[in-house]
Chain A
């Protein structure tokens, strides 16, 4: 059974600092990994999808890397803004095994 872990559970940074969010998974035989954002009381918004053959994906200030051999993915958010405050979730494969998320607070 795939286990997905996200550390830390919570993170608070001043505005402008770069964010580094970690996701680890136990079974490296994955097809893809997806990063989501969830605002309080809302649904999940897809940020980036990395296929197993890819090492990274970029969208604007967001960059996600994938290292299947070590079972790790990292989401980088450059020059954080207060609007980036949310919970970030990673999930593996089409039946989506989710981590518990990292709650980010960006202080103005």
Chain B
């Protein structure tokens, strides 16, 4: 199993550009989520999904869109990048339910200039 994979590893965008961060898992996990990590602020939940076709907002959803058309994939879209979106983005997955261990991808480091 590859676990949770994320692409790209690094990305530089100009203000106003759009892009999609990719996340995939091969563990047949129902639950997937996106976090951003900023210095001094810890990790914050952006969006999450409890299964294909179902998504919901986390703590900091503004400026981001998600969709979940398959169990394996959960892409994160930045519609119009802003410097405030410079961060490290992590995708995570787990089996469904409140008690299960979550697994994280290696992260995407995004810089918006």
A43 to B41 CA separation, bound complex (whole angstroms)? 16
| CB-based contact A101/B45 at 8 Å | no
Q: Which of A12-20, A60-68, A71-79, A90-98 contacts B (4 or more CB under 8 A)?
A: A90-98
Q: Is A46 on the interface with B (CB-CB < 8 A)?
A: yes
Q: Which of B11-19, B60-68, B71-79, B93-101 contacts A (4 or more CB under 8 A)?
A: B93-101
| CB-based contact B104/A44 at 8 Å | yes
Size bracket, chain A contacts: 20 to 34
A9 to B92 CA separation, bound complex (whole angstroms)? 24
Which A residue sits closest to B40, measured CB to CB?
A: A100
**Interface of chain A, main secondary structure:** strand
Total interface residues on B, CB under 8 Å, equals: 25
Q: With A43-B106, A43-B107, A46-B103 as given contacts, are A96 and B43 in contact (CB-CB < 8 Å)?
A: yes
Which residues of chain B have a CB within 8 Å of any CB of chain A?
31, 33, 35, 40-45, 48, 58, 90, 92, 94, 97-107
Would you list the 10 A-B pairs with minimal beta carbon distance, nearest first?
A31-B98, A44-B104, A100-B42, A98-B43, A43-B106, A98-B42, A49-B101, A43-B104, A94-B98, A43-B107
List 20 A–B pairs whose Cβ atoms lie within 8 Å, in order of A's numbering: A31-B98, A31-B99, A32-B98, A36-B104, A43-B90, A43-B105, A43-B106, A46-B101, A46-B103, A46-B104, A51-B99, A91-B43, A93-B98, A94-B94, A94-B97, A94-B102, A97-B45, A98-B35, A98-B42, A100-B41
